[in-house]
Structure 1
């Protein structure tokens, strides 16, 4: 049965690898927009964005990423990988399972990475791309090159996750670590205890710690990837250009990825391109500036 503009359906969508926990808002025949959360957040990221777009006729799909919420692996023997190719393939599998041939895809952090990967490798599936902080495909081959000391400091959590101490923290007390990251990465966002606890429920997924730790170790070549994604990782190693129309959003007060990091990102994009720096907004753009995020999706309203 078709949903009215403001109705919401929560469902599990089966793909070859996962049962993906999805919230779908809007009409079934609306323009499809798939909006993907980042780390260390969750599907509640788009609670304010989805109703705006649904009221305008969009069909908005917000999945919980692997290891988050009620999303579950179908097999016990599937590696609990959070590598970038796995995230990208999950998005393609979700589109196939929902019979969505082409959509506007948007996200930031892990979600922005998945969106960029699909836009780069399967441009025929993407009507428009909204990506937080720019080009999010990791240069894993170049990960051994040190960054500027200030950026290495901002990435302290990644080095922490390379240790068994950090892995234990994500397994036993993920909310303690993630609360600090929320505070550091979005210094102008006065989120409530209730907002934080609603998302913290997503981190009780039994695979959460394993997926997070593998993700951050793999990107620095400190953990093996799932062989099922070797071909895609090889394609991503070439740092492929993104040809689809793109809007880059960057929070001016982002505490982990300052806006200067995306100043030259247009070199990775060959299609129509726009970049907006959002004042007094940090890393979690859809929560901190939902109207801006919705407006960026709206740019592609005639192309999906």
Structure 2
């Protein structure tokens, strides 16, 4: 299974700065992968940063996407980050925390403790087990991945150099406010990092069809236990099919 730069066993070229971890870079990497596989048009599902990349892909090459499903993160027209209301700012504390060098150093010193704080506060804790966290913590201690996490997440509060290779892609995203790709949006009703109210009222930005489905009592997160993953996957698959058919 291919993964983004810095994840699993994938290395990061020293010639690239970490703006490759931005949404437009992930989007372009996804198109490049499909090109290499000889796949022209396809369905796409994206979560969190992958969700932002999915929105970017819909702006960059809508004809190639048969449908799109985004999980947890609402659409930001033209790909622009705006400072949210204070309650959401508090939920995204880690983004502001890492823009300060002292905060960034604290994360470098204890990436596992940093991750555990998010596990404990982003949703119900009943599904967390120490064994599951121990397995996940192996990824948190990946120094390359942690460095990319710091660079991408802290970008919300601090400007960093952009890779000029993505100027054209950023221009396409910046010029697109309404997306024409059929879109399904899945929201966890118990998500305490990206709560349902943060994704309300976005219907007008989708001209090709838009469905928003809030899953009661669910935290849609890559950190959840397998039973939750399977429940989300089954909802996503059936709902995407209905979106395309509609």
Is 1:296 matched up with 2:243?
Answer: no
Matches within 5 A, 1:64-213: 64-73=3-12, 75-81=13-19, 82-137=21-76, 143=82, 146-187=83-124, 190-213=127-150
CA separation of 1:142 and 1:86: change in aligned 2, threshold 3 A: closer
Where structure 1 has 5 or more consecutive residues not aligned to the other structure, the ranges are 1-21, 23-62
Q: Which residue of 2 aligns with 1:33?
A: none
> Larger deviation: 172-181 or 189-198?
189-198
**1:55-79 CA distances to partner (integer Å, 9 max, x unpaired)?**
xxxxxxxx43332212222x32211
1 or 2, which has the higher helix percentage? 2
Q: Could you say what the CA RMSD is over the residues aligned between the two structures, in angstroms?
A: 2.7
Distance of 2:80 and 2:236 partners within structure 1: 32
Q: TM-score normalised to the size of structure 1? A: 0.70
Where structure 2 has 5 or more consecutive residues not aligned to the other structure, the ranges are none
CA separation of 1:116 and 1:293: change in aligned 2, threshold 3 A: farther
- Is the Cα–Cα contact under 8 Å of residues 75 and 202 in structure 2 kept in the other structure? no
Is 1:264 matched up with 2:204?
Answer: no
- Is the Cα–Cα contact under 8 Å of residues 46 and 71 in structure 2 kept in the other structure? yes
What is the count of residue pairs matched by the alignment? 240
Q: Which residue of 2 aligns with 1:275?
A: 212
Distance of 2:155 and 2:234 partners within structure 1: 32
CA separation of 1:147 and 1:199: change in aligned 2, threshold 3 A: same
CA separation of 1:182 and 1:159: change in aligned 2, threshold 3 A: same
Q: TM-score normalised to the size of structure 2? A: 0.84
1 or 2, which has the higher strand percentage? 1
CA separation of 1:129 and 1:161: change in aligned 2, threshold 3 A: same
1:284 alignment partner, SS class: coil
Distance of 2:229 and 2:97 partners within structure 1: 30
Q: Which residue of 2 aligns with 1:243?
A: 180
